[in-house]
Amino acid sequence: MTAAAPALAGLVRRLESIGPLTAAEREAVADLPAAIRTLPPRCPIVREGERPGQCCVVLQGWLCRSNVLGSGKRQIHSLHIAGDMPDLQSLHLPVMDHNLDTLTPALVAAIPHEALRELLASYPGVAAVLWRGTLIDAAMVRQWMVCLGRRAALEHTGHLLCEMYLRQQAAGLAAGFRCPLPITQSDLGDALGLSTVHVNRVLQSLRAMGLITLQNGTLRIHDWERLVALSEFDPTYLHREDAPV
C-alpha cells in the first residue's frame, strides 16, 4: 500500500513550485502513504455525488475533471498532468460536484484524507501552499471560462495549447516548443466547448497558418509569438513566480 520513497517526488516538486517548503515539510509530504494504481484510458476515478475518502496525485498520464449533462454533452473544466492533485477539494467539500477521469493510461497515487489532515495540522506551511495551489487551480478555470464565453474557436484553441505547453514545461515534461498532447480531438472539443468536427477544422486552420502541428499525440508550436498574439495569451493567471517561456 505505502509507496516507495520516490513516488511522491513529483508532488514535492510541484508544491515547491507553488510555494516554499521547509526540509521537514518536504519530507512529511514525501512520506505520505500513497496507494499507487495503474489505470487505463477513459477510466472513471471519482463520480459526481460520491464522497471519496482520499485524494489522488497524478504520477503519469492525463486526467480531466468534467460534468456531463442530461443530453450527454460533456464539459471538461480542467486537464491534469503529472504533479497535479485534481481532487484536493474533496478534503474540504465532501460531496463531489464533478467527475474525475483518466484521458490516457495513467499512474495515480491515492492519499487517504486522514493522512492529509494530519499533515496539514502538523505543518501549517504545507496547508498554505496547498491553499495557494487550489487558488491557482481556480484562476486557471476562470481563464478557461473567459475563453469559452468570449473568444472565438481559433483563439480559444490557441490559448489552450499555450497553457498546456507552459504547464508541461513547468513540470519538466516539455521543452523546445514541443510537448505531448495525448488526447483525442473529441476530448479537446469537450474541453473547448466545441464539436469534434469544428476542433478538427480549427486545428487545420492553425496548422495552415504555420503556427502549430499536432501529430501522434505531439504538439509542436512553430511560432510561439504569433500563437500568443493570436490567442491574447497572458500567463499571469498561471501565477508562476519564475518567468515562463
Partner DNA sequence: CGGTGCGTTGACATTTATCAAACGCGGTGG
Partner DNA sequence: CCACCGCGTTTGATAAATGTCAACGCACCG
With contact defined as beta carbons under 8 Å apart, do 64 and 191 qualify?
A: yes
* Min dist. Cβ of residue 201 to a copy of itself (A): 18
Nearest of 7, 16, 12, 10 to residue 27 by alpha carbon: 12
Give the C-alpha separation, 105 to 82, whole Å. Answer: 12
131 touches a copy of itself (CB under 8 A): yes
Q: Which does 154 bind (CB under 5 to 8 A by kind): DNA, a copy of itself, none?
A: DNA
Residue with cell 512529511: 28
Helix (H) or strand (E) holding 230: helix 224-231
List all residues 6 or more positions away from 72 whose beta carbon is below 8 Å from its beta carbon.
none
Of the two residues 90 and 157, which places its CB atom closer to DNA in the complex?
157
* Min dist. Cβ of residue 44 to DNA (A): 16
Give the C-alpha separation, 115 to 29, whole Å. Answer: 10
Q: Which does 245 bind (CB under 5 to 8 A by kind): a copy of itself, DNA, none?
A: none
Give the C-alpha separation, 105 to 62, whole Å. Answer: 8
**DSSP character for 175?**
B
1, 4, 23, 70: which one binds a copy of itself (CB under 8 A): 70
Residues that bind DNA (CB under 7 A): 152-154, 184-186, 193-198, 200-201, 203-204
Nearest of 243, 230, 240, 242 to residue 147 by alpha carbon: 230
* Min dist. Cβ of residue 100 to DNA (A): 19
Provide the mask over 146-185, with x wherever binding to a copy of itself is found by CB under 8 A and - wherever it is not: x-xxxx----------------------------------
Task: Count residues binding a copy of itself (CB under 8 A).
Answer: 43
Binding region for a copy of itself (CB under 8 A): 48-49, 65, 67, 69-70, 73-75, 77, 89, 92-93, 95, 97-98, 124, 127-128, 131-132, 134-139, 141-146, 148-151, 192-193, 232, 236-237, 239
